[in-house]
Every structure is written in structure tokens, then in C-alpha cells.
Structure 1
């Protein structure tokens, strides 16, 4: 479906941003496999400035459950180790003098179920965000109709398009969620 109405396009963009935010949020949920996005929120105090870890070091995945952090500046190794210990990752870093290894522990079945619930809760927040954007979009369309910019028929047609855009966005969120749940629950 080709959408040309600028109001709907504007709100569709907001819905897409909500989907992307959900994807980023779900990327930080540890699923028992190494993923560099786990470290996106880690900031290292570097010369008195909080610096994102991924700007200070190369992060690679040499094995399925291992993250290897190789700093560009070897003198920052201790600072990176300290930042990892202070973070909410709950994984003890292993410093070998030139790089840091993070071994992602195997998840228990109980922990997997907890994470799946967390994924569902995060997904629900994404759906609420999309529904809020839909409400804003409907209000904008009704206001445009009240101002005489739209006829009753145009309003009804645009409301139908708006609902289809919303349904599509919700479906995208459900697909993203299903993918993450599968990843979390996989043994």
C-alpha cells in the first residue's frame, strides 16, 4: 500500500522509530549467546569522560558464548574492566593483560522463562507506544477535518489507512518479539 498523506507518513515514521527502539531494548536482553549489543550501555571513564565501550575497543565474538574486548589503547584495559564490573551485566570479566573476555553463562530453564516474560513486557511497551502514536494520528486527522482541510469521506479513508499502518506496525513488533523469544528459549 502506497501512502501519500503527509500526516500519516509522519506518524508512520514515529511507529517505525518505536519498532527500532524495541529492537534496541531487546538487544540488551542476554539470551545465553554472545552478542556485542549487550555492551551498548557500558560507558568507560576514559580521561575523566564517560565514553561508550564500543568506541574504545574492538568487540568480537570468537565463540558462541564469548565476547572478546580488545582495547585500542592498552592503558585503558583496567578502566574497561572496572566499567564492566560496575555495569549491570552480571558477568565477571577475565583480563589477560591485552584483552578482556566475557563468558556468557548458560541460562537455566527458569531464567529463560523469566527472560521470555521480560521480552513480552518490553514488547507490550512497544505496542503501547505504537497505539499512542495511532491516537495522536487520529486526533490530528480529526482536527484537520474540523478545520475544513478534510471532508468526512477523506477522514474515514485516512482513518482506515491509519488503522492499517498501526496494524502493520503491531505485526512487526510481534514478529520482533517472537524472534527474540525463540532466541531466549532456545536450548
Structure 2
């Protein structure tokens, strides 16, 4: 029973770490990356759709993103979505493709992005700790309902703390790597 709780909690913690990884890919670094724009919501054909469903996104070099819409009628909508995003990049189009030139980041912008990374890392740590709390409650309930012994409860709590520490360390490593990437000139 405790193993079920631990397995379920570990799955949730893995999802929290994966969500952090996904979110950090959208934070801009000095390099061009399709992940910066692929999830932008574009108003096309009466509904909001992710950009990667409307266009092919490539990075021919480290400072350029090229977006080639599958349907040329969506170019204006894609441009509008990019301009309204928080990227701070002006798109240019030639009627066939949209080009985004990624300017180098200023020192102030790098620091602001680093704060954003730290904030996301902290949110992920809180999510992992909340999952630990929920699992602890479940283990205590098992012991209260006399389904496990008090010793089993203690062992379960220790294993849960080890699991939590492991995922907190992983979140911190991911955050440190992203901060280093953002601060890289």
C-alpha cells in the first residue's frame, strides 16, 4: 500500500519536473530556438491554435527563426500573435515566410530572465513539496485506518523524503543549467 502511494507520488513529481523543463524551453536565451514560438496561440479560422500546427518552424542559424505557414492566408494572424507575445521581437515577412531575427540579450534582460527562471524553479519545488504533503497525508491515513503499522508509516515517510530530496535536486540542477544558458554571452 505504501509502495502504491510512493509510485503515484513519484509519477506526479516526474510530471512536475517535466512541466518545468517544458516551460523553461519557452524562456528566451541568446540563441534562436523553435521552442520560443511553437506554442504561441494564433487566432486562425475562428479559433486559437498553437503556431506549430499552422506552420513549419526552423532555425537556419543561431540568430534566426524562420516560420513557413502551411496556408499563406494565416501570415497576418501569425505576425499579430508574435507581436502580441512577450518575446519582444518584430517579425518580417516576404509574403511566403516570416523571419524572426533574435537580437543579443542585454545584461538587464538577462538578469530579468534569470529571475523568471528562479521563479519557475521555486514554483516547481513548491509543487514537489505539495505532492510530498499529499502523500504523507495518505500514509498517515493508512496508519490511522490500521492498514499499516507505525513502523511502516515511518519507513514510508523516510522513503518519501528521499524521493522529495531527489526531485528537488533535479529541479535545482535544471534551473541552474537554464540560468547559465541565459547568462551566457
The normalised TM-score by structure 1 is 0.94
Residue 8 (structure 2) pairs with residue 10 (structure 1)? yes
**Which of 158, 162, 165 is 1:164 aligned to?**
162
Q: Secondary structure at the match of 1:5?
A: helix
Question: 1:148 Cα shift?
Answer: 0.8
**Which of 23, 41, 46 is 1:43 aligned to?**
41
Q: Distance in 2 between matches of 1:151 and 1:9?
A: 19
- Superposed CA RMSD in Å reads 1.2
Gaps of 5+ in 2: none
The normalised TM-score by structure 2 is 0.95
**Which of 177, 182, 185 is 1:179 aligned to?**
177
Equivalent residue number for residue 110 of structure 1:
108
Residues 38, 57 of structure 2: 8 Å contact kept: no
Question: 1:147 Cα shift?
Answer: 0.5
Gaps of 5+ in 1: none
Q: Distance in 2 between matches of 1:146 and 1:76?
A: 60
Output aligned runs, 1:47-62, within 5 Å.
47-62=45-60
Q: Distance in 2 between matches of 1:140 and 1:151?
A: 14
Equivalent residue number for residue 140 of structure 1:
138
Q: Distance in 2 between matches of 1:37 and 1:184?
A: 15
Question: 1:70 Cα shift?
Answer: 0.5
Question: 1:62 Cα shift?
Answer: 0.5
Question: 1:18 Cα shift?
Answer: 0.9
Q: Distance in 2 between matches of 1:32 and 1:126?
A: 24
What CA deviation, in whole Å up to 9, does each residue of 1:85-112 have, x standing for no partner? 2222210001011100111110112221
Following TM superposition, where does structure 1 have runs of at least 4 consecutive aligned residues deviating by more than 2 angstroms? none
Q: Secondary structure at the match of 2:9?
A: helix
What CA deviation, in whole Å up to 9, does each residue of 1:42-69 have, x standing for no partner? 1112111111110010001101011110
Q: Secondary structure at the match of 2:128?
A: helix
Equivalent residue number for residue 78 of structure 1:
76
Worse-matched range after superposition: 52-61 or 80-89:
80-89
